Structure formats: C-alpha cells, structure tokens
Amino acid sequence: MTVTQNVGVQAAEESTTMKQPVYRQELTPVAFLERSGYVHADRIAVVDGETSYSYKEWLSRARRLASALRNSGLQKDDRVAFLALNSEPLLLGHFGVPMAGGVITAINTHLSSAEISYILSHSGATTVIYSPELAELLNDAPAGIKRIACGQEFEDFLAGGTDQPLESWLEDEYDTIAIDYTSGTTGKPKGVMYHHRGAYLNALAVAMDMRLGPGSRYLWTLPMFHCNGWCFPWGIVAVGATSVCLPKVDPEKVWALLKSGEATCFCAAPTVLAMLVNDPHASRLDTPVHFFTAGAPPSPTIIAQMAELNFELEHVYGLTETYGPFTINVPSPDFTSRDPAEQAKLRARQGVPNLVAGDVRVVDEQMQDVPRDGQTMGEVLMRGNVVMKGYFNDAQATANAFAGGWFHSGDVGVMHPDGHIELRDRKKDVIISGGENISTIEVEQAVVSHPAVMECAVIAIPDDHWGEVPKAFVTLKPGATATEDEIIEHCRSRIAHFKCPKAVEFGPLPKTSTGKIQKYVLREKEWAGREKRIN
C-alpha cells in the first residue's frame, strides 16, 4: 500500500468515529441565512413598512430569537406557533425556530378562535408569537402556552438572546422543520410535517424557477402561513434577495410597488390575479414582473390578461402535503411561435415535476397509469423529495394518503403526450350528469372567458332528470353587466351543451384566506335538506 493510500484509509477510518463524515452535511435551510449573513451582509434582507434589516443584522436577529427560545426552555422538536400577518417576525421565525431546534407552526390567520385553539392543542405548541391585532383569536388558546406579541414584547424577547452562533441540535435532515395544518373543510385540520431536507430542496427549486437573484425584491402577496409561503422564506434568503412584507393584499398598493420597482416578483392565487387585472390602477408595466400562480387552475383568460399587462407567468401546482409547488409548466421550444390564445391555453396546464420534486403520475382506480392522451382522467399521485413526512399524530390518515407507495392528491387530471399533467377537478368536484363526467374546471374556463365575468365557481346541483347538473356562481367585473341567459349562451358556443351551466347565480364568492373559492359552502346551500350529495 502506498503512503497516499494509507493516509486515505486512515482518514476514512477516523471520519467514521466522528458524528458526521467529512463528505456529508445535513441539508437545512437554516444554512442559507448563515451563508447570506456574510456573503450578502450589506444587502437588505427584509423590508417591513418603515423598518428594514440587512442580512448581517437579520442573521443576528435570528440567532437572538433562537437563543432566547432555548433560554425560555425550548427542547428539541418543541413546536413554536405563529399567528401573524405577513411580517418580519413571521419571516424570522422560519430561521430562528429551526435554528433553536424547534418546529415552526404557522397558523392560518383567518381561522376561528376554536379552530386555532384546536391546532395549538393538537400540535402541542409551547409558545405562540402573534400579531397584536389578532389577539382575540387566542381567547380559547390552551392554558399555559407562552404568548409573545409582535412589537415591543417580541423585541424585548429577542434582547434576552445572544447573536453568537448556536450549536446545532439537528440530528438528521429528515428531522421535522415545520408543521402546516390543512384547511379542514372535510373534518379536523391535519398537521402536515415538513423535513429540513425537503424545505431546503424546494426552496432552491422555487428560487431557480422564479429566477431570483440578489437584485430581486419579492412582494409578499401570498400568506406566509400557506405552505410556509411555498418555501419562499427560505428560497429568497438562499440567493440574497429582498423580502417586501405586505400584511394583506391591497391591489392599489401592489400596483404602486410593482410600477415603482420596489417589488419585482410575487406569488398569488388566480383570484388575486383577477383583483389585480380589474383594479382601476391596472396598466401595462414598463418592466416585466415575474410571478407564480397556483392554488386553483388559472383560466387561459386570466393568463392572457396578465400577459397583456407585461407579467411573466410561472404556473405551478402542489398541495400543503408537497411543500407547496411540486410541478411547474415548462413551455415547449416552439411555444413563442404559437398565437397568444394557444399560448395561454398551454400555460393553463399544471406541467411536470420541478427539478427536485420527484415523480408524478395520473392513474385509474387500480393505480394503473392512464393513457397519455390528454383526455382520460385519473387521480394525480406524487412521490419524491418534497412529499410530506406524514400527518402529525395521525398514522391512519398518513397510511391512507400513502396507499400503494404514492401520495394520493385527491385531484383529478389528465396526462398529455408530452408528459405534462393538467387538472380537471378535485375528486369530490367532478359532476356526473346523466352518466357523463363533467370537469368543473372546463366549465369555469368557459364562463370566465365572457368579457363581463371576473371570476366564477361551478358545482353540481341536484336535478330530478339528470341526477346532477352544473351551476355557475359568478362575480362580474366592476361596472359590467350580464344575464343568466347570456352567460349560458356564451358557454354553449365554447363547450358541449351538456357541460354548460343550467343555472347562473351572481354575487361575491366565499373564499379562504389564500384566495381559494370555498365550493363546499356553495354545495351546502344547494344540497341542504338532502340525505346524499349525489342524485
């Protein structure tokens, strides 16, 4: 054996006695801030109203939060909850909590006091950090939970920490970094567990797909509590970009920030896009603005409208159980040669797995892949790096979701010949009328193509002859008018007659805090008094 070989063997043997081999570092998004704290030390990390912090300052604050949490008694894997509007403290929690060895649980701020109490109890949170204006939502919070109000109380808490580096308690990159609770529309909310590795990987994927760089200024129109802001809190920091906090969506303010260049990119559900394109301040931007949309399938109409205003779309798709974005629409080489209407139609597809996500399939009831014909519908399944660890303290729900070794999304879609998936419905939303399957998404896209329509939702309503038929709930654009007959006739010129809505109701639509239309609320009204939700 040569001297070089001998040294190599000795080094390898010595490395096995160490806690971590020299060729491995556990993946955690906490590392992004440790790096950006010196690489991008003087760049602005966060803007929150009149307050801003450089990366050097923000790393110091994250360390202070982490050490203060440990000083207050935090143990490894303790849950620290946030009930906060989009703000610097909530962003900071995405680093300070896991840096301390805890698990961040960001709670939907639009839930009821009882729902929030349930989440705090189920997660076993030891601490809750909250926006003062949301204090009443904690009236039913479990006794004994430590409460810290954002503002001076939060600053005083940080003052009890140190900005010196902390010894990491991370034992494995599959340790839990966050627990995100589902909406609970069909039962109690379930706690979705994210691990450090998945958060790290998907943060890099969204940063790359959004084309973030040190000069990017990301506007927080998306709630940070929603899938941990689709992993953008970590992805923004990875590249040294700037977060611009926005407590709630205000179209006028959003337009002002975009036009001034104070914001250069954002994420939003299609309902928020509808608010923007129909706002009086809407006008074509001088400089293109990049954005992600997801949360519900965007119609070709809204996609085309955004393009006319000089927005550059990235259409992504995922669920709480997949860290937010799992797939992304990747245009074909000949995309730009197609006419705008065809481009918008292609952009409406949900696409292919992002670079780190894993695999996606569309399968029938026997979990066999459906033909790649863009027509045959089946359930969308995922597997890979950015699928949840499981549901917190719910082994049965986890087993059901992972049946057959894949995550079952509950979404119905088709697989196109080019490998792109396209959603057609949620399983529970498919309308079966006279034995024919009707995609509510297809009907909705036909309705919103009417020039007077701002947004709509389509559900099944009972029908004595056909069993069930489509009904459209429509919100018109400000100042616009349309009748029920006009909407129906418009749809008949675009889709098969049996798919067209048999009734149209006008008015505002019920929505979640993330902009998703609550179809179950509409169904409750239409099916009230009936024993079954199918005819």
pLDDT confidence of residue 184: 58
- Residue 519's pLDDT band, with cuts at 50, 70 and 90, is confident
Three-class SS state of 458: strand
Q: Is the pLDDT of residue 328 over 50?
A: yes
What pLDDT, in 10s, does the model give residues 392-425?
A: 999 999 999 999 999 999 888 999 999 999 988 7
pLDDT confidence of residue 88: 98
- Residue 9's pLDDT band, with cuts at 50, 70 and 90, is very low
pLDDT confidence of residue 513: 60
- Classify 216 in phi/psi space as left (phi over 0), alpha (psi -120 to 50) or beta: beta
pLDDT confidence of residue 514: 63
What pLDDT, in 10s, does the model give residues 347-383?
A: 889 999 999 999 999 999 999 999 999 999 899 999 9
167 burial type by CB count under 10 A (0-12 exposed, 13-18 middle, 19+ buried): exposed
What pLDDT, in 10s, does the model give residues 53-83?
A: 999 999 999 999 999 999 999 999 999 999 9
383 burial type by CB count under 10 A (0-12 exposed, 13-18 middle, 19+ buried): middle
In the numeric block, which tokens belong to residue 7?
Answer: 């040294």
List residues bridging with 54 in a β-sheet.
44
| Mean predicted confidence (pLDDT) in 138-158 | 96
pLDDT confidence of residue 104: 98
- Domains detected in the chain: 30-209 (3.40.50.12780), 249-427 (3.40.50.12780), 430-526 (3.30.300.30)
Mean pLDDT of the chain: 90
| Mean predicted confidence (pLDDT) in 97-119 | 93
Q: Is the pLDDT of residue 121 over 50?
A: yes
| Mean predicted confidence (pLDDT) in 235-244 | 98
Q: Which residue has 């704290």 as its token pair?
A: 37
In the numeric block, which tokens belong to residue 176?
Answer: 């839990």
Q: Is the pLDDT of residue 192 over 50?
A: yes
pLDDT confidence of residue 400: 95
Q: Which amino acid is at 533?
A: R
Contact 242, 236 (CB under 8 A): yes
- In this structure, the strands spanning 79-83 and 127-130 are parallel
C-alpha to C-alpha distance for 221 and 249, rounded to whole angstroms:
6
pLDDT confidence of residue 449: 92
| Mean predicted confidence (pLDDT) in 28-37 | 98
pLDDT confidence of residue 74: 97
Number of Cβ atoms within 10 Å of the Cβ of 186: 9
Lowest mean pLDDT: which of 154-158, 206-210, 289-293, 490-494? 490-494
432 burial type by CB count under 10 A (0-12 exposed, 13-18 middle, 19+ buried): middle
Identify which of 274, 416, 296, 427 has the alpha carbon closest to the alpha carbon of residue 364.
Answer: 427
- Residue 534's pLDDT band, with cuts at 50, 70 and 90, is very low
pLDDT confidence of residue 433: 79
pLDDT confidence of residue 343: 87
Which helix (H) or strand (E) covers residue 102, if one does?
none
List residues bridging with 353 in a β-sheet.
327
Provide the percentage of residues in the chain whose pLDDT is more than 70: 93
Q: Where are the alpha helices (DSSP H) in 149-261?
A: 152-159, 196-209, 227-230, 232-238, 251-260
Q: Which residue has 């080489």 as its token pair?
A: 333
pLDDT confidence of residue 457: 93
What pLDDT, in 10s, does the model give residues 127-139?
A: 999 999 999 999 9
Residues 6+ apart with CB under 8 A from 337: none
Identify which of 243, 22, 203, 184 has the alpha carbon closest to the alpha carbon of residue 98.
Answer: 203
Number of Cβ atoms within 10 Å of the Cβ of 505: 16
Three-class SS state of 404: helix
pLDDT confidence of residue 390: 97
- Residue 10's pLDDT band, with cuts at 50, 70 and 90, is very low
C-alpha to C-alpha distance for 57 and 292, rounded to whole angstroms:
29
Q: Is the pLDDT of residue 16 over 50?
A: no
In the numeric block, which tokens belong to residue 453?
Answer: 């329509």
C-alpha to C-alpha distance for 101 and 74, rounded to whole angstroms:
8
Q: Is the pLDDT of residue 14 over 50?
A: no
Q: Is the pLDDT of residue 1 over 60?
A: no
Neighbouring C-alpha atoms within 13 Å toward the C-beta of 230: 29
Give strand ranges (E) for 238-330: 242-244, 265-268, 289-293, 311-319, 324-328
What pLDDT, in 10s, does the model give residues 474-514?
A: 999 999 999 999 999 999 988 878 889 999 999 999 987 66
Q: Is the pLDDT of residue 269 over 80?
A: yes
Number of Cβ atoms within 10 Å of the Cβ of 23: 7
C-alpha to C-alpha distance for 86 and 523, rounded to whole angstroms:
31
Which helix (H) or strand (E) covers residue 116, if one does?
helix 113-123
More confident residue, 496 or 164: 164
Q: Is the pLDDT of residue 531 over 80?
A: no
List residues bridging with 412 in a β-sheet.
379, 425
* Cα angle: 518, vertex 139, 67; to 5 degrees: 100
Q: Is the pLDDT of residue 253 over 50?
A: yes
